[in-house]
Amino acid sequence: MTIALIIILSLLGIGIAFYYMKKVISIPIDLGLSQEEGERLKTIHGAIAEGAMAFLKQEYKYLAVFMIGFAVVIAVLIDDTHTPDVREGVYTAIAFLFGAIISILSGYIGMKVATAGNARTTVSARNNIADAFVAAMNSGAVMGFALVGLATLGLMVVYLLMKALLPDVANNVTMEVIAGFGLGGSSIALFARVGGGIFTKAADVGADLVGKVEKGIPEDDPRNPAVIADNVGDNVGDVAGMGADLFGSCAESTCAALVISAIAFSADLNAMLYPIMISAVGIPVSLVTKMLVRVHTEEQVAPALKKLLIISSVLMAVVIYFFTMWMIPGEFVINGEAYTSMGVYWCFLSGLVAGLAVGLLTEYYTSDMYKPVQELAKSCETGAATNIIFGLALGYKSTVLPYLAIAASIFISWELAGMYGIAIASLGMLGTLAIALTIDAYGPVADNAGGIAEMVGLDKEVRRRTDILDSAGNTTAAIGKGFAIGAAILTSLALFAAFLTHSENLLRDINGEDYNLIASITLLDPVVFTSLFVGAVLPFLFTAMTMKSVGAAAFDMIEEVRRQFREIPGIMEGQGRPQYGLCVAISTKAALREMIAPGVLIMGTPLVVGFLFGVPAVAGILAGSLVAGGVLAIASSNSGGAWDNAKKYIEAGNLGGKGSEEHKAAVVGDTVGDPLKDTSGPSLNILIKLSAILSLVFAPFFVNYGGILL
Amino acid sequence: MTIALIIILSLLGIGIAFYYMKKVISIPIDLGLSQEEGERLKTIHGAIAEGAMAFLKQEYKYLAVFMIGFAVVIAVLIDDTHTPDVREGVYTAIAFLFGAIISILSGYIGMKVATAGNARTTVSARNNIADAFVAAMNSGAVMGFALVGLATLGLMVVYLLMKALLPDVANNVTMEVIAGFGLGGSSIALFARVGGGIFTKAADVGADLVGKVEKGIPEDDPRNPAVIADNVGDNVGDVAGMGADLFGSCAESTCAALVISAIAFSADLNAMLYPIMISAVGIPVSLVTKMLVRVHTEEQVAPALKKLLIISSVLMAVVIYFFTMWMIPGEFVINGEAYTSMGVYWCFLSGLVAGLAVGLLTEYYTSDMYKPVQELAKSCETGAATNIIFGLALGYKSTVLPYLAIAASIFISWELAGMYGIAIASLGMLGTLAIALTIDAYGPVADNAGGIAEMVGLDKEVRRRTDILDSAGNTTAAIGKGFAIGAAILTSLALFAAFLTHSENLLRDINGEDYNLIASITLLDPVVFTSLFVGAVLPFLFTAMTMKSVGAAAFDMIEEVRRQFREIPGIMEGQGRPQYGLCVAISTKAALREMIAPGVLIMGTPLVVGFLFGVPAVAGILAGSLVAGGVLAIASSNSGGAWDNAKKYIEAGNLGGKGSEEHKAAVVGDTVGDPLKDTSGPSLNILIKLSAILSLVFAPFFVNYGGILL
């Protein structure tokens, strides 16, 4: 019954995605355009779609090699002592591949519809803002519902598959194998986030620096050779990257909850599948929310997006109460501690509220409607340097309240349901994922729509309308980023707890039932403290690497754009056609090249540390990089967002407006913030999650073969 | 015998300081100058000295109120359960006041001689570089030797005093009382570092932005009203601030070592006083080193400074071997673990080597002789934004190797002598303190000397010579900063360990001998993890506060300098005399006002957390802010140093030289880096140390009255 319900809800999600996909595609791409305009639009739209697919195709080649290679590593190295007759690694590798493929599929669907929806949003905007809003929103919804549906279906399928393949092993072993699914999703997220982030910023910086600054042509001008790459980047980074990140969080928190509760709920299928159910229930709730919110006038756009988030949160809070009471036993015991179903519900709620709080705080610190960004804009009066100083300070300061909100959620859920509670809290934060992703993917679609309007040369009114959609999307993008970081922090903490629980169980098989691993992971253990210390430095090194990667990739792009302006005759007069494809290819190549080193750092560190120094050292590394990485991620994201909006605030005519000295100072801040908010910051989410799930999956390896130096 | 030797060595240090003080003052201040030049020099020199003293006087007023108030708090709140018949808090308060007074005294002496030595270095530079080097060096030596001598003498006196006042209590209680001495020193350091950092940067930014940028007059031009404040700032921030910081580290690591080893070495006075002896032995070693190194030509200046550091390290390594073998028992037991004297020596050595490594790595990342800064300078070709991005990335990346060096030292000493080993490692890092401080204080003296030469209008050759001294000092200042951070990290870790040991002892009095506090401070304890998490955010908040404080203070200064240029007739023609004193007063007022909030944050957080949530929460806060704060301190310091030197590299004629677009971009970086490297970064040292010693001293309060919410 529970299994059936989850599968039905998952299929519902996929069905909804198909329905919206149809709706989007049913809009004629040249709706109401003249023959000539229609041709131009088709060319540009085609170039963006092709560019995005070309990137994905290249990326998937790399990924295929990586996935197969890493699956072999998993199959060889993981050999659980629980099950001497079963080669756990092989099954984990299968789950890993399955998770990776589903993550890729979600990203692919999202990109496909986002690149189909952009032009259709443009042409709908010629009618009125309501049509355009619906077109962009529906494009986003495809991504949102498909991803959540695929995630829950995938988890369900992998669970049933493993039950069928391994009928005789205990539930907790099954769940450990299933964790491979989360690892697969998260590994894809690494490449999507880091590679996508580098792609989008290299294209952006290249287009801006040569086009806007050197040549003095406007943004999204079709004469700029990097303009298509720039628009492709929005899709690659913000749609595919964000999607893979949150797919990872969803799969990983579910895996963490499953691993932690497997023994306690071994005989209670309902309780065991509760974590998957939370995400599945989010699908109909998101659908109802989406149908409740409509937009008729321009003023309604921005409030509508926030309404979506708040209504879906309230609905989830109500619905999940009943599911919790139904599925979780009134009282139960995990690892010797007694908890209640009401406690579990509070955990869910604390995560939901913390997620909303982090999102709204992010908005406060990065929207130009509030004091922080207005003050930042004012600091441009004394030049670029003060803008940078104030922006860094703003980012640093903005970490305090979100951290306290997350800390409160951690503390509450830990007290009420132990480590299981943390995993439930992170699922609570992700409960409204379908709607949150809809809004996230809506942003780049609207952004692209504006670009297309500009490039095709449509009426100014069209661009004005898409700009309204886009600017509302910018605010929610900031909320979405805060939300993604919050979810990443809770998820990694849950994975961290699952890792230690799992390791302790394995060690007890070797050292007897009294062996207490967790009590040895104290702050006054030399190995733990030293590795805590080393862990804290990883996010900084990782940020430095990704920032410099963007620099290197942007440099290649700048050279190419300059070359085209120099060598293609008549390009500035609009006669010579720029070679858009070459710029896309350069961004692609640079992104794929530059994502290797950070990838090796993230995946290699826990493996090497665990092999050399064993489980306590891995625990220290994870905790250190989690606490330091979370702060750095929030600070990077918010500094970048605030600089971006301070610039827009000035461009809106405040403090001297466009072209003033203040504006020049603001542009410097914006350029500094770009890699921080779109590459380094979001990639840190992956750093903290991926190293944690990797450790969870490789726990048997660390226990059996690790710690050779101690 | 040991006591006598320590006292003799301390008095030797003070004697050496007096000797060098006499030598400095014996140089006639107008040596070889014309009547007119002499008058001008006296005026300027007087203004700087007066300004510095005016700041100190104001600061001391605040400090007196704070010290008395806080001494009362200590006396009231601390009530140790070890000793029901002794009011421990009263004695701790006495030690606290004593430590504070000695710290103030050291700072005062350092400032006094630095402001006397600056002009004398200027006039000596008219003769030759060797004389100027000796004058600046001797001025620095007064600070170096006086401070170490006073620290060891103070520790010895407070030990003897407490033995006399509390003849019947156990040694460990005496040592806990003595920890108040470290707290006193560290509290003064808070105000000296934060206040001094704000003072110096407000003056610097004000002088540069209005004078150099708006009015186009050169640096150190006497027409600039903020020029005296700027020169005062060098003394206030770099002499008094750095001195108080390192005095604090020295006193605190010694206290940590004393507290940890008090029970083990209770019957062995030699072993017990070993930590004080390490610092005392550093005095003659530093003296010998100083006499070994001489400078005859300009080329010898920079290598001479590095030679001083290396020779003193080698000498210390040799001498301390014999002292260790003499004072520490071949084998001994602390907290049930057996250690050896050879192990202790290795701890000392690991700290010494790590300190040197951190210093040299800092030099590598911030000197324009190496690739990182040269690359950074090159990034100015694409503008200010890339300069900022690369500079931030450089700072982040530069944290990795120093952290690994410190981590190695932590791990080695923990394995070889437990927490006692950590305290000894930090004393090892501080072993060459007298010579390190000599070099640190030499820098601002040389810097001031150049300023005075410029303002008096002496021959260009004089300025050229002082510039050579100054630029060599810049490199060693970077080394000194790295060194101060490294020492702060090790010191706080030692204090952290002492805090937990002390708390565990107190809790055992209440809960029985089997009570194991430390085993409960695991990474999977909700209170510990949550507070670890919150602790990590503190350095970021603190940095944001100090950065904005500099902004606010600089803003006041800019307004005042603009007003003077506007209202004083003939000021630009050199006829009207600028009101230097008003600028000094503004910097003073702003510094004192702005240091209150960060001060409350640092001192209030552990007290409030401990009161509300008890010892485990304090442990989490300390560990979180230590690991995150250390990284942030190194990153801030190195980014700032690298931007500064990238600018100087361009000014030296590379990449377009002064006035080019590259130079403008570099100036933006330098301005951003200023508050990072001179205010926020160094202040973080105090954050991590002060919260740790505060927790150590207040442990009885947390144990008896804390944790009311749990």
Tell me what the pLDDT averaged over chain B comes to.
92
Per residue in B615-668, pLDDT (tens digit) is 999 999 999 999 999 999 999 999 999 999 999 999 989 999 988 999 999 999
pLDDT at A470: 87
A619 touches chain B (CB under 8 A): yes
Return the pLDDT at A380.
93
Task: Please tell me if residue A499 touches chain B, with a CB cutoff of 8 Å.
Answer: no
Q: Which residue has the higher pLDDT, B263 or B516?
A: B516
Q: Note whether A396 contacts B: Cβ–Cβ < 8 A.
A: yes
- Is the Cβ pair A521, B521 closer than 8 Å? no
Q: Do A400 and B536 touch (CB under 8 A)?
A: no
Interface of B with A in 96-155 (CB under 8 A): none
Q: Which residues contact A35 (CB under 8 A, 6 or more apart)?
A: none
Q: Is A171 on the interface with B (CB under 8 A)?
A: no
Interface probe for A, chosen from B350, B404, B409, B530 (most Cβ of A below 10 Å), is: B530
Over residues A318-339, the mean pLDDT reads 94
> What pLDDT score does A239 carry?
87
| B chain contacts of residue A623, beta-carbon cutoff 8 Å | 523, 529, 532
> Model confidence at B518, in pLDDT bands (50, 70, 90)?
confident
Contact B389 A533 (CB under 8 A): no
Polymer length in residues for chain B: 710
Closest in A400, A407, A668 to B530, CB measured: A407
Does residue B606 belong to the interface with chain A, where contact is any CB pair within 8 Å? no
Residue B384 is nearest to which of A384, A400, A528, comparing CB atoms?
A384
> Using one digit for the tens of pLDDT, what is the confidence trace for B461-504?
999 999 889 888 877 777 888 888 999 999 999 999 999 989 99
What value does the mean pLDDT take over residues A564-588? 90
Q: Using 50, 70 and 90 to split pLDDT, how confident is the model at A481?
A: confident
Count Cβ–Cβ pairs < 8 Å, chain A vs chain B: 211
What would you measure as the largest C-alpha separation in chain A, in angstroms? 79
Percent of chain A with pLDDT over 90: 70
Q: How many CA atoms lie within 13 A of A104 on its CB side?
A: 22
Interface of A with B in 660-689 (CB under 8 A): 667-668, 671-672, 675
Chain B contact for A521 (CB, 8 A cutoff) = yes
Q: What confidence category does residue B563 fall into, taking pLDDT thresholds of 50, 70 and 90?
A: very high
Residue B335 binned pLDDT confidence (cut-offs 50, 70, 90): confident
Output the CA torsion B84→B89→B94→B99 (10° steps).
120
pLDDT of residue B83: 66
Maximal CA-CA distance, chain B: 79
**Cβ-defined contact of A394 to B497 (cutoff 8 Å):** no
Distance CA A295, CA A310 (A): 16
**B148-200, pLDDT tens digit by residue?**
999 999 999 999 999 999 988 888 888 989 999 999 999 999 888 899 999 99
Q: Taking residues A400-414, report their average pLDDT.
A: 95
| Position A67 pLDDT exceeds 80 | yes
Task: Check CB contact of A655 with chain B, cutoff 8 Å.
Answer: no
Among left, alpha and beta (phi > 0; psi -120 to 50; other), residue A224 is beta
Return the pLDDT at A82: 64
8 Å CB contact of B396 and A547: yes
pLDDT at A510 over 90: no
As a whole number, mean pLDDT of residues A485-498 equals 93
- Whether B143 shows a pLDDT value over 80: the answer reads yes
Residues of B in Cβ contact (< 8 Å) with A536: 403, 536, 627-628, 630-631
Residue B334 confidence (pLDDT): 87
> With contacts defined as CB-CB under 8 Å, which chain A residues touch B493?
529
CB atoms under 10 Å from CB of B364, counted, come to 17
CA dihedral A342, A346, A352, A355 (to 10 degrees): -160
B532 and chain A: CB distance < 8 Å anywhere? Answer: yes
Could you read off the pLDDT of B72-83 as tens digits, one per residue? 999 999 976 666
Q: Is B533 an 8 Å CB contact of chain A?
A: yes
Among A379, A410, A524, beta carbon nearest to B530: A410
Asked whether the predicted pLDDT for residue A480 surpasses 90, the reply is no
This prediction's pTM? 0.94
Mutant choice from A386, A396, A639 vs B, greatest count of B C-beta within 10 A: A396
Kindly state whether B388 is in contact with chain A, defined as any CB-CB distance less than 8 angstroms. yes
Residue A643 amino acid letter: W
Tell if the CB–CB gap between A541 and B630 is shorter than 8 Å: no
Look at residue A332 and give its three-state secondary structure: strand
- Select from B409, B493, B523 the residue whose CB has the most chain A CBs within 10 Å, as the one to mutate to test that interface: B523
Where residue B267 falls among pLDDT bands split at 50, 70, 90? confident
Contact in structure between B441 and B243 (CB atoms under 8 Å): yes
Nearest to B133 by CA among B290, B26, B310: B290
Q: Which residues of B153-181 are buried (b: 16+ CB within 10 A; e: fewer)?
A: bbbbbbbebbeeebeebebbbbbbbbbbb
Amino acid at residue number A191: F
Residues in chain A closer than 8 A to B709 (CB atoms): none
Q: Do B533 and A399 touch (CB under 8 A)?
A: no
Interchain CB contact of B397 with A (< 8 Å): yes
| Inter-chain touch B411–A551, beta carbons under 8 Å | no
Q: Do B668 and A548 touch (CB under 8 A)?
A: no
pLDDT at residue B213 above 70? yes
Q: Pick from B209, B394, B533: which is nearest to A410 by CB?
A: B533
Per-residue burial over B478-508, b = 16 or more CB atoms within 10 Å of its CB, e = otherwise:
bbbbbbbbbbbbbbbbbbbbbbbbbbbbbbe
Pair B81, B700: CB distance under 8 Å? yes
Question: Which of A400, A407, A519 lies nearest to residue B519, judging by beta carbons?
Answer: A519
pLDDT of B602 reads 92
Q: Do A533 and B419 touch (CB under 8 A)?
A: no
CB contact (8 A) between residue A389 and residue B675: yes
Which of A534, A628, A667 lies nearest to residue B404, judging by beta carbons? A534
Query: Which pLDDT belongs to residue B695?
Result: 96
Chain A CB contacts of B556 under 8 Å are: none
- B597 at interface of A, judged by CB pairs closer than 8 A: no
Residue B306: its pLDDT value, please?
86
First-to-last C-alpha distance (Å) of chain B: 50
Is residue B543 within 8 angstroms of chain A, CB to CB? yes
pLDDT 10s digits, A77-135 = 987 666 677 788 999 999 999 999 999 999 899 999 999 999 999 999 999 999 999 99
> What confidence score (pLDDT) does residue A636 get?
95
Q: Please list every residue in chain B whose beta carbon sits closer than 8 Å to the beta carbon of residue A677.
A: none
SS3 for A219?
coil
In this prediction, residues A559-572 reach a mean pLDDT of 91
Instruction: For an interface test with A, give the residue of B361, B376, B392 to mutate (most A CBs within 10 A).
Output: B392
pLDDT at residue A80, rounded to an integer: 66
* pLDDT of residue B325 exceeding 90: yes
Distance of alpha carbon A281 from alpha carbon B159, whole angstroms: 68
Closest CA of chain B from A97, distance in Å: 31
Burial of residue A221 (CB within 10 Å: 0-12, 13-18, 19+) is: middle
Beta bridge partners of B332: B339
Q: Which chain A residues are Cβ-neighbours of B635 within 8 angstroms? A: 540
pLDDT score, position A236: 87
Closest residue in chain A to residue B214, using alpha carbons only: A382
- Label residue A640 by pLDDT band (50, 70, 90): very high
- Please name the residue that has the structure tokens 């040389």: B446
A522 touching B (Cβ < 8 Å): yes
Between A248-252, A262-266, B58-62, the lowest mean confidence (pLDDT) is in: A262-266
Q: Which residue of B has its CA nearest to A501?
A: B524
What pLDDT is stored for residue A81 in this prediction?
A: 62
Q: Which of B393, B394, B544 sits opposite A396 (nearest CB)?
A: B544
Nearest-CA distance A411 → chain B (Å): 6
pLDDT at A620 over 90: yes
* Range from A312-321, B402-411, B655-664 carrying the lowest mean pLDDT: B655-664
Q: Which residues from B are below 8 Å from A537, CB to CB?
A: 399-400, 403-404, 631
Taking the Cβ of residue A400 and every Cβ of chain B, the question of whether any pair is shorter than 8 Å is answered with yes
What does pLDDT average to over chain A?
92
Interface test with B, best of A398, A499, A530 (most B CBs within 10 A): A530
State the residue for tokens 């006639």.
B28
